[in-house]
């Protein structure tokens, strides 16, 4: 990691992308047909619109707080660790971004912990996404 990169906060680039949900800049960060795999859904979200819907739902008050604590970049992969609170309880996890040769995000793997939070988060996400996502992906 270069000195310039070490001055950035962990997750800073990813947060900047997620804050642009619904814009051309958000869509421009992704390769064609990107995939989001997450521990809080039964299957993957495929495509920029599905991924945007997921993050719009989670950004709308599901987390009481969220902070990225570590970031490691190894070739095409960016590994982010995060901690926070959701529903008044401790939650943490890992986000793994994989980029293609052009630097566009082709996959996101998002893992929550502990198990109780996965279950609560999944149910609330299902409630928020009802009608906006494949029902088979949701635990509602």
End-to-end CA distance of the chain: 42
Cα gap 89→33, rounded to integer Å: 34
Position 6 scores a pLDDT of 58
Q: Indicate the number of domains in the chain.
A: 1
pLDDT band at 16 (very low <50, low <70, confident <90, very high): very high
Angle at 102 between CA 100 and CA 104, to 5 degrees: 60
CATH number of the domain enclosing 53: 3.10.450.50
- Using CA atoms, how far residue 138 sits from 4, 37, 38, 60, in Å, is 40, 13, 11, 17
Q: How confident is the model over 41-48, as a mean pLDDT?
A: 92
Domain that holds residue 58: 3-137
For residue 51, is pLDDT > 90? yes
**Average pLDDT score, the chain:** 89
- pTM for the structure as a whole: 0.87
**Average pLDDT for residues 94-117, to the nearest whole number?**
97
* Per-residue confidence band for 25, with pLDDT thresholds at 50, 70 and 90: very high
């Amino acid at each position: 990691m270069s000195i310039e990169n070490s001055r950035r906060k962990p997750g800073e680039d990813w947060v900047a992308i997620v804050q642009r949900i619904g814009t051309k800049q958000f869509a421009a960060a992704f390769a064609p047909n990107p995939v989001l795999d997450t521990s809080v859904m039964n299957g993957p979200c495929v495509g920029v619109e599905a991924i945007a819907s997921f993050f719009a739902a989670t950004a709308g008050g599901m987390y009481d707080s969220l902070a990225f604590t570590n970031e490691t970049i190894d070739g095409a992969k960016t590994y982010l660790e995060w901690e926070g609170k959701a529903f008044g309880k401790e939650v943490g996890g890992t986000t793994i971004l994989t980029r293609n040769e052009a630097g566009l995000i082709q996959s996101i793997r998002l893992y929550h912990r502990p198990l109780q939070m996965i279950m609560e988060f999944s149910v609330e996400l299902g409630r928020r996404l009802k009608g906006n996502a494949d029902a088979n992906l949701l635990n509602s």
